[in-house]
Amino acid sequence: MRAVIVGLILLGACATADVVAQTTQGSIRGYVRDEQGGVLPGVTITATSANTPRPLVAVTDQDG
C-alpha cells in the first residue's frame, strides 16, 4: 500500500511539472549572414505561427 501511495505522489509530481514547464512567451535569436559569412544588416525577418493570427516582423541590426 505504501508503494502505491508513493507511486501516486510521483505521478502527480511529474504531471504537474509538465504544466509548469509550458510558457506562452518565447524568443528567436540568430544572425543573418551571406554565403561567405558576412553579416547582412537591414534584412526584414518575418516569423509566423499557426497559433498567432499575425506574424512578428523584425529588421536585423548592424550585427546581422
Domain map of the chain by residue range?
29-64
Q: Is the pTM of this model over 0.75?
A: no
Residue-level pLDDT at 19? 53
Residue-level pLDDT at 42? 92
pLDDT at 48 over 60: yes
Residues 6+ positions from 61 with CB-CB distance below 8 Å: 41
Residue from 58, 7, 13 nearest 31 by CA: 58
Residue-level pLDDT at 27? 80
Q: What is the pLDDT of residues 4-40, one digit of tens each?
A: 776 667 776 666 555 555 566 778 888 888 899 899 9
Residue-level pLDDT at 41? 92
